[in-house]
Amino acid sequence: MMAQGQPSPVTAQFGQRPRPARLCNLDRLLDAMEARGLDGLLSYYSRNVMYLGGYASGSTAIYGEANGVAAFVISRREPDHPIAIMPEFEIGYFLRQPTWVRDIRLYRTLILPFDIPTEPSAVDRFIPQGAHDVPWVRRARESFSESLTRACVRALQDVGLDRGRVAFDNLSFAPFVASELPH
């Protein structure tokens, strides 16, 4: 069975080491949110997602920093329940890169053919051999959402931020999420 954060054979061959599981200064982040009267944060800016949750795929270079492919959600009241949201085809990423985030969620991208229903079994084609029994992989598979926006809305709801004061680091993405939240 594969564990979370184990270097791949290729990574080990070239002497590369995974980054630390948590880069962010969590206490400073929580203090900053409290000082600004924020209940939580939704990050979509690629560099912030990497700093906060540890996700930095090569695909982020294609879309640029401001238009990432992943998101990170954290509630000031539930700081031990951060959520990382990433494309379904990247499910193997955290098998080789450790993260402090335990709630990893997936969303559908255009890589998945249109005739495949948006259901957990659609993710199976992206799960590396030997990883189907990894607990967080099973949970991520079950969390599969039809879009990044929908995955973000569910994450906000699950940590009680659907009615809170939430900071966004990408104001072009915020209206899409806000439009799907109950008001």
Question: How many structural domains are present in the chain?
Answer: 1
Per-residue pLDDT band for 107 (boundaries 50, 70, 90) equals very high
In a domain, 17, yes or no: no
In a domain, 4, yes or no: no
In a domain, 80, yes or no: yes
Mean model confidence pLDDT for the chain:
88
What is the pLDDT, as a whole number, of residue 1?
41
In a domain, 176, yes or no: no
Give the model confidence (pLDDT) of 30-86 as tens digits.
Answer: 999 999 999 999 999 988 999 999 988 766 566 666 667 999 999 999 999 999 999
Q: What is the pTM of this model?
A: 0.87
Per the structure, the complete domain to which residue 82 belongs is given by: 25-169
In a domain, 12, yes or no: no
What is the pLDDT, as a whole number, of residue 2?
46
In a domain, 87, yes or no: yes
Mean pLDDT of 88-95: 91
Instruction: List the CATH number of the domain containing 73.
Output: 3.40.350
In a domain, 15, yes or no: no
Question: Read out DSSP for the chain?
Answer: ---TTPPPHHHHHTT--PPPS--S-HHHHHHHHHHTT-SEEEE-SHHHHHHHH----THHHHH-SSS-S-EEEEESS-TT--EEEEEGGGTTHHHHS--S--EEEEE--TTS-TTS-SSGGGGGGGSPTT-TT-HHHHHHHHT-BSSHHHHHHHHHHHTT-TTS-EEES-TTTHHHHHHHS--
In a domain, 18, yes or no: no
What is the pLDDT, as a whole number, of residue 90?
92
What is the pLDDT, as a whole number, of residue 61?
61
